[in-house]
Amino acid sequence: MKLRFSWEEAFGDLFPHCSSDVVNEDGTSLLSCILTDDGGCQLIHSLKWIDVGLARIKSVKESKVEFDHWDREVWGADFSKDCVKLYFRMEEDYCEFLSLESFEKALMAWRDFIELPPDKAVTRELEI
């Protein structure tokens, strides 16, 4: 799966955007959705919440807990050492699965990207 991070303009501001070359039958990448779900908060708050997610992943990887959960306004992630279930919080059956390592890699790369100064000329691609 290839992710592409970019800055998109809306309402006179730049916002981080994520797209994926892997989408479901609806044309949606749930991984892109959870990464871009900022909960209506500023980016600084997103960075802190991403750090919470990364800490929870670390706890699962180090076997401090068997299972953990991380969610935003609309999208959620349940993870164990075996896999991550990404889902729409209003309909948990609308979901997709990926490895914990892939999710961690995507979340770390997304954090690194949104920490950059917003610039429409800046894009990043990531293979997971």
Please give the pLDDT value at position 87.
97
Please give the pLDDT value at position 92.
82
CA distance 89 to 47: 21
SS3 118: coil
Please give the pLDDT value at position 34.
95
Q: Where are the domains of the chain?
A: 2-119
Please give the pLDDT value at position 11.
86
**Phi, psi for 86 (deg, rounded to 5):** -100, 135
HSE-up (13 A, CA, CB side) for residue 39: 15
CA distance 18 to 33: 8
User: In order along the chain (128 residues), what is the average pLDDT of each group of 10 residues?
Assistant: 95 92 95 91 83 97 96 94 95 94 97 95 96
Please give the pLDDT value at position 41.
80
The tokens 């919080």 sit on which residue?
Answer: 89
